[in-house]
Structure 1
Amino acid sequence: MDMESPHRGQRADSAQGSQGEQSGAALPRQGSAHDREAPGPPPVEQAPPGSPARPPKPAHPPRPGSRLADWLRAPRPEAEPGIWRYGYRPLPPRDPDRVPTRQLLGGALVSFLIAWLIWSLLYNGYLGRYWLWPLEVLAPGATWKQDGTAIADVVALIYYALIIAALAVVFGRLGHWPELARRAWARLSGRSPRRPAKERHDAADPAPVPAPPAQSDPVEWPDLRAHGAGRAADMLASEVRDGRMNDVDHARIRRAWESVRTRPGRLSAFVETVLANGAGACVHPSGRRDLPQGRSARHDLSVGQVRIGTAADSERNPLGYRGAGVALEPSLLGTSALAVGPPGSGKTTRLARPVAESLCLQALAGQAAVVAVTAHGERLAPDESFDVVVRIGHPGSSHDLDLYGGTDDPDEAAGMLAEALVGDLTEALPGGDSRRAATALAQLIGPFRAVHGRFPAVPELRELLDGSDSAFDGLRTALDDAGLAAQLRELEAYGRQSGRAGDAPALLADRIALLDRPAFSGFFVPAGADGPSGDGSAGAPSPRPFSLRALEKPLRVRIDLPERGHAEASRILARLVLAQFTECAAAREDQSLFAGLVLDDAAQTVTPQALRGLQRVRSAHGGVLLTLRALDDVPAQLRGPLLGAVGCRMVCAGVTPWDAEHFAEVWGTEWVETRDVTNRQLVSDEPLTKVVHAVRRLATGRHVTAESVTVRTVQRERWSASDLANDLPPGHAVLSLTTVRGKRTPPILAELGE
């Protein structure tokens, strides 16, 4: 049974509005930018007239043993980064000099037999009677076999006991009898049960934890009681016990309560909302309380983790990770992540999808905002799991992508658009990056906005970049008539440099033509344009524009790229989303929400500007997950900087030796102890020794050799390129993690999946 998903199989209780109607609604703010640990005020939802005092029970009540109460009480000890904490049981530190139990038992048996042999020889007199002289002095006439006086017999018994004790002490120390006794007692008393490392590390279904005292029982919401919200605590505790609450409800209400702690004036509103709605209080604006299609991974929203695999019980893994679950969380994703592997290696289904699902659940709990970009539609998650679904080029799409990122600043808009159009052509651009192209774009779209009050649509921008005389002269005349001298100077400066061969305007014109296709008619229409063409002509209504400026709200967004038939346009749009995300996430006023971007197949999206953006996102409580089929999809000069810019790196089974070499280099070397064994043939001139050697050679078929062992400490690669390319089993990956505070893990061999 799955304790990590105490509500799996249930459906949302509350009334569900249509996705299109909810996606455009304004979502509540969640706090201030200067206090991430104290999120903003909770979204207080008033109960509609006629609604019940409590939400109805789920259609399928929780199964015995998987109740939310047991899930909340399960232990989650502190652990190293990336370890699945639910039910985690740390292993005791291993003594490198510890003798294996089997070897210890053999040594103890041999030492006992030797001690018994010596005592037998002494007792039967085969070693002489000299050892009995103390007894003859103390008790004359007393022997072990003949009766003497009562006192003599007692003295003899004590003497022999001392001899036996001396033998036991000497040979017990040689045979490690005390250590063997301690291990036997520990096993009999149940202190160290013999179980596989995976079970000892990670109890997938721990036994129900007895209810702790009310002042520390999470089911009783002691924090609410301690701060004057006793009625709300009673209501929530009954919701937990009756099975009306799931883990998303608990995480969402807990976050809302944290915001109340920072603003005590909202306490009464919070209590009233909880009393009116129970577990459905402070619900997400979509009305969802869970993912409607179930879950594909195991989640622990109490600590924000999603399990992606299990660390192998291998000598190559650190002891603390062997057999433990491997999980990701915002503190790790905040350093951004890169996964490289061929198709079918699991980087999408076993990494990108669980991470996107986890961020969607955290968004429902008011803790995150997520943007998932994919060329395969529901491959990451179904439509019902998102508030906004942008299908670029699809006639049924309800939303459009704002080409200019929702900004009013021409320079900012030009920078993001230039990065999307020509960011991958750094070698062909003057200056080696997209800044020259951004300047040229700003010199066009700035004057256009000054005249028309909006940015140009794709056809209008294409005409200007192509150097159309009518479009250029018309814009110049409008600027002159409006008396906008500064904007006119910008336009003239663009005109003077646009005629140069190989300059940025020519490259921009070639790339913008890829977006001015019939398949994209009606898309990329800026606010204020009347029709699909953007020229003021009547036309079919365009989809509602969506801007990544909405990342200050707990939104769930999926953007489907037109990969089939428009591969190059798809790459342009992927770079555009990445550029807008890094810019908008860093510019948020409220950074209490974690902003996550999952970019499935990030081929040709990595640029110098994108790498700088990843660093800015890290300091803005956000992160990006990139997946690649191979590092060949990244320019050669950017492969090293890319691996250095991300904090979490994963290489899946099946990568090429060239890709593996980059990961081996970035993971570096470590000091290891090596043992070199040398065998040399023994040659003797002694006749008897020659005969013995001849007999042994005749019996074994080998020459008699002597073995010499040399122990050295050397530096070796943690994982060599050959190991990564040839020795990874299917379904496995090697990954290293870094927290936002800078704590790093060594490379970990893990099996992907639950």
Structure 2
Amino acid sequence: MDSDGTHDARGTRANPVPRPAGPPPERPATPPPMPSSAPLESVPPPAPGHAPSSGPTLAEWLRVPRVGDAPGTWAYGHRARPAEEPERTPLRQLVSGALISFLAGLLLWSLVSNGYLGSFWLWPLLLVTPDSWPGTQTGERAAQFYIVVVIGGAIAFLFGRLGRWPELVRRVFGLVPGVAAQEAAPPPPEPEDDFAEWPELRAAGQGDVAARLASEVRDGRMNDVDYARIRRAWHSVRADPSRLTAFAEAVRGDGAGACVHPSGKRDLPVRAARHDLLVRQVRLGTVHDGERNPYPRRGTGLALDPVLLGTSLLAVGPPGAGKTHTLVRPVVESLALQALAGQAAVIAVCATGTQLGPDSAYDVVVRLGDPESVYDLDLYGGTNDPDEAAVALAEGLVGDLADTDTRRASTALAQLLGPFRAAHGRLPAVPELRELLDGEPTAFVALREALDAAGQTAMRRELDTRERQSGTPGDPGRALADRVALLDRPAFAGFFDTNGRTRPFSLRTLEHPLRVRIDLPERGHAEASRMLARIVLAQFAANAATRADRSLFACLVLDDATRTLTPETLRGVQRLRSVNAGAVLTLRTLDDVPEALHTALLGAVGCRMAFSGITTWDGKRFAEAWGTEWVETRDVTQRTVFADQPLTRAIHAFRKLVTGKAVTTDAVTVRKVERERWSASDLAHSVPAGHAVLSLRTVDGEHAPPLLVDLRN
């Protein structure tokens, strides 16, 4: 058993599931080493924002507790914080109080040690003093001992508490005596709770299989991807017990290499972010330790996972804000690792040259417009149904045109795709579709003859209807032909082929754990690239909703979603959360989307991210989406004090002469008011460089308020 069944290439069309561009490498005899930028942290975990000097073993990584007390919390080694910030006394006040208490204690000690207070207060000590001590040298030494140890200790304790010395030591030196022992690493878990010992397999009676895997962990032959992949395979066995025998044989034979991904890869060539595959998280940064964030989240790590990405994410920021480097690449990398573990399928769409990792990190790389590209893109999404293909294609071609009805456009396309499919057994290539949309008489004549030869005369009525409507007022055929003409260029010659001469990739393969990257030629064909991105988005939304097996999390990542969003695709994005799928969309500004869609776009996604440098116009939309909250405000009013007594007036005059200010008194008014969580001005001018404001929502409806996140940490 080389896979758990969810990884196998089940035929969803005539062509098999695409494999890597070159022949897959042979399975290595030893597991790949942990990447240099190890996703595993030391034990105990370092302070937030500090990377460990060296990564731990897999067993140590598995034993670190994971606590996720709020959406987006980096669970690895997380320690929960109090719900409210404790009252903090100013350091100057602590120092003065400690000094005063020390001087008072020193004064009392001098009075006691010199006998100024008499001896009447020592009568409790006389009750425990032997009768033979008074008047002897031993008794005098005992009295000195009592005074120094008991009385001195009591004075130090009393005035130390009054002067708040422990808090001063903690504030100045960052520690309290005795706390270091409490923060030591937790004791190792019991065998039945130790993930490194595979307790689930032992509980199911598979002790020999668990022992083999545990030895792989101890001997360092297993990495985090192997662990997540085999654990996923075991969960599929629990869902389908008929796979148990094959699973056990695969583990006994291959150990950590069992149930390997169809590509044969067990890790990525390089990692640029910190990942925790046990809970499927990728860390983006650290929540800023400031007043704008809730106290329990300050200083904690922030991470994304499929539970959050399942509601889709929209990120807006100007060029250079770091959207690709700090968001897109870590998310794509995390989903690629999950794909190797058989948990996800990722489709990344970007401009040619975008740094989303090396080609070897993907199973399929489609370079549209590059003659050396190994893979092609299926323009019809892998379907042979003309009506289904027409709907997605019409949305991608003319969905952004306000004066063209996409429903009429899909009908016009279906009137051509149906007869062509019936006559030739395939859908038309780009040049053939362009001729039909242009209304070329020779193209219609040739298609009619092909229909007659194939015995499909019933389809001639569809063709005749299209020919009659061609060129009439309101006909979408001309707009469709103009858009198809953008693809009928020399740069795309050989692409979008339907004759079987190329290796097309279709989004019908979302049921398989694939890592796909589609490069668009935005440099010389910007309009065609936008149109192709719309087609991919429309096909993704349609195919994700019709998957028979939704156990894999499917995610589409658009590095630049400019002019790709339409009313219909937004409805498709909103439906993704119910089919275990999601989308990550980035924009330079909300103006890259029609103004009529701004509200619908912010409402369709569950996670919203505003990078540093956005405009106040974009900030206004985010502020409206995040709403308001009740906050407590303190208004301080200063009033001048007018004295009636001559002595008091003289003192006030002297203070004014020395300080230059009149004597005043403060009147404090505390009230609750409703304010925006983040105003448009704050988003435009108060977010530091390298930061972003991010709100999160899970597929279950749990949400986190907008958080200011340091993406550099």
Structure 1 stretch 311-320 or stretch 365-374: which is displaced more? 311-320
Query: Could you say which residue in structure 1 is the equivalent of 2:200?
Result: 223
Confirm or deny that 1:418 pairs with 2:394.
yes
TM-score (normalised: structure 1): 0.79
State the alpha-carbon separation in 2 of the partners of residues 101 and 90 from structure 1. 26
Q: Give the conservation status (yes or no) of the 8 Å contact 1:104–1:176.
A: no
Confirm or deny that 1:503 pairs with 2:475.
yes
State the alpha-carbon separation in 2 of the partners of residues 290 and 115 from structure 1. 65
> What is the CA-CA distance between 1:193 and the residue it aligns to?
9.5
The 1:687–1:401 alpha-carbon spacing in structure 2 relative to 1, beyond 3 Å, is same
Query: Could you say which residue in structure 1 is the equivalent of 2:417?
Result: 445
Task: Tell me the secondary structure at the aligned position of residue 252 of structure 2.
Answer: helix
Query: Could you say which residue in structure 1 is the equivalent of 2:536?
Result: 577
1:687-726 equivalence runs, <5 A: 687-726=646-685
1:388-427 equivalence runs, <5 A: 388-425=364-401, 427=402
Query: Could you say which residue in structure 1 is the equivalent of 2:464?
Result: 492
Task: Tell me the secondary structure at the aligned position of residue 750 of structure 1.
Answer: strand
- Of the three residues 226, 235, 242, the one matched with 2:219 is 242
Q: Give the conservation status (yes or no) of the 8 Å contact 1:447–1:479.
A: yes
State the alpha-carbon separation in 2 of the partners of residues 708 and 256 from structure 1. 67
Q: How many residues align?
A: 646
State the alpha-carbon separation in 2 of the partners of residues 639 and 401 from structure 1. 30
Read off the aligned partner of 1:513 and give its amino acid letter.
A
> What is the CA-CA distance between 1:439 and the residue it aligns to?
1.3
State the alpha-carbon separation in 1 of the partners of residues 118 and 214 from structure 2. 79
Confirm or deny that 1:621 pairs with 2:595.
no
The 1:476–1:145 alpha-carbon spacing in structure 2 relative to 1, beyond 3 Å, is closer
The 1:358–1:730 alpha-carbon spacing in structure 2 relative to 1, beyond 3 Å, is same
The 1:55–1:209 alpha-carbon spacing in structure 2 relative to 1, beyond 3 Å, is farther
Confirm or deny that 1:254 pairs with 2:231.
yes
- Of the three residues 372, 375, 379, the one matched with 2:351 is 375
Query: Could you say which residue in structure 2 is the equivalent of 1:166?
Result: none
> What is the CA-CA distance between 1:264 and the residue it aligns to?
2.6
Confirm or deny that 1:331 pairs with 2:321.
no
Q: Give the conservation status (yes or no) of the 8 Å contact 1:673–1:713.
A: yes
The 1:211–1:700 alpha-carbon spacing in structure 2 relative to 1, beyond 3 Å, is closer
Gaps of 5+ in 2: 11-25, 37-52, 128-156
State the alpha-carbon separation in 1 of the partners of residues 31 and 604 from structure 2. 48
Confirm or deny that 1:79 pairs with 2:69.
yes
> What is the CA-CA distance between 1:508 and the residue it aligns to?
0.7
Task: Tell me the secondary structure at the aligned position of residue 703 of structure 2.
Answer: coil
Confirm or deny that 1:69 pairs with 2:44.
no
Q: Give the conservation status (yes or no) of the 8 Å contact 1:248–1:290.
A: yes
Structure 1 stretch 545-554 or stretch 378-387: which is displaced more? 378-387
State the alpha-carbon separation in 2 of the partners of residues 109 and 415 from structure 1. 79
Task: Tell me the secondary structure at the aligned position of residue 672 of structure 2.
Answer: strand
State the alpha-carbon separation in 2 of the partners of residues 461 and 100 from structure 1. 75
Q: Give the conservation status (yes or no) of the 8 Å contact 1:76–1:85.
A: yes
The 1:686–1:500 alpha-carbon spacing in structure 2 relative to 1, beyond 3 Å, is farther
Confirm or deny that 1:429 pairs with 2:404.
yes
> What is the CA-CA distance between 1:192 and the residue it aligns to?
8.3
Identity between Structure 1 and Structure 2 (%): 60
Query: Could you say which residue in structure 2 is the equivalent of 1:608?
Result: 567
Task: Tell me the secondary structure at the aligned position of residue 326 of structure 1.
Answer: strand
> What is the CA-CA distance between 1:106 and the residue it aligns to?
5.2
State the alpha-carbon separation in 2 of the partners of residues 79 and 616 from structure 1. 27
State the alpha-carbon separation in 2 of the partners of residues 747 and 551 from structure 1. 32
Per-residue CA distance 1:21-63 (angstroms, 9 max, x = gap) = xxxx995179xxxxxxxxxxxxxxxxxxxx99x9436578999
Q: Give the conservation status (yes or no) of the 8 Å contact 2:73–2:301.
A: yes
State the alpha-carbon separation in 1 of the partners of residues 445 and 120 from structure 2. 134
> What is the CA-CA distance between 1:211 and the residue it aligns to?
3.5
Q: Give the conservation status (yes or no) of the 8 Å contact 1:69–1:240.
A: yes
> What is the CA-CA distance between 1:111 and the residue it aligns to?
8.1
1:159-174 equivalence runs, <5 A: none
- Of the three residues 616, 637, 652, the one matched with 2:596 is 637
Q: Give the conservation status (yes or no) of the 8 Å contact 1:55–1:280.
A: no
State the alpha-carbon separation in 2 of the partners of residues 688 and 593 from structure 1. 84
State the alpha-carbon separation in 1 of the partners of residues 160 and 409 from structure 2. 77
Query: Could you say which residue in structure 2 is the equivalent of 1:522?
Result: 494
1:55-454 equivalence runs, <5 A: 55-56=29-30, 66-94=56-84, 103=93, 177=161, 180=164, 188=176, 190-191=178-179, 210-292=187-269, 294-377=270-353, 379-425=355-401, 427-430=402-405, 434-454=406-426
Q: Give the conservation status (yes or no) of the 8 Å contact 1:55–1:277.
A: no
What RMSD, in angstroms, separates the aligned Cα atoms of the two structures?
Answer: 3.7
Task: Tell me the secondary structure at the aligned position of residue 447 of structure 1.
Answer: helix
The 1:467–1:64 alpha-carbon spacing in structure 2 relative to 1, beyond 3 Å, is closer
Per-residue CA distance 1:598-619 (angstroms, 9 max, x = gap) = 1101100011011011122111
Query: Could you say which residue in structure 1 is the equivalent of 2:23?
Result: none
Per-residue CA distance 1:73-97 (angstroms, 9 max, x = gap) = 1111232110111111112333665
The 1:145–1:378 alpha-carbon spacing in structure 2 relative to 1, beyond 3 Å, is closer
The 1:58–1:283 alpha-carbon spacing in structure 2 relative to 1, beyond 3 Å, is closer
State the alpha-carbon separation in 1 of the partners of residues 374 and 609 from structure 2. 35
> What is the CA-CA distance between 1:231 and the residue it aligns to?
1.7
Gaps of 5+ in 1: 1-14, 16-24, 31-50, 122-142, 155-171, 195-199, 201-206, 531-541
Read off the aligned partner of 2:637 and give its amino acid letter.
T
Confirm or deny that 1:597 pairs with 2:572.
no
> What is the CA-CA distance between 1:687 and the residue it aligns to?
4.3
Task: Tell me the secondary structure at the aligned position of residue 428 of structure 1.
Answer: coil
- Of the three residues 652, 674, 681, the one matched with 2:611 is 652
State the alpha-carbon separation in 2 of the partners of residues 443 and 344 from structure 1. 46
Per-residue CA distance 1:476-504 (angstroms, 9 max, x = gap) = 44445656455323223323332224531
> What is the CA-CA distance between 1:242 and the residue it aligns to?
1.1
Query: Could you say which residue in structure 2 is the equivalent of 1:128?
Result: none
The 1:230–1:394 alpha-carbon spacing in structure 2 relative to 1, beyond 3 Å, is same
Read off the aligned partner of 1:257 and give its amino acid letter.
W
> What is the CA-CA distance between 1:208 and the residue it aligns to?
6.5
Per-residue CA distance 1:543-572 (angstroms, 9 max, x = gap) = 311111111011111100111110000000
> What is the CA-CA distance between 1:714 and the residue it aligns to?
0.3
Q: Give the conservation status (yes or no) of the 8 Å contact 1:648–1:735.
A: yes
Query: Could you say which residue in structure 2 is the equivalent of 1:744?
Result: 703
> What is the CA-CA distance between 1:277 and the residue it aligns to?
0.8
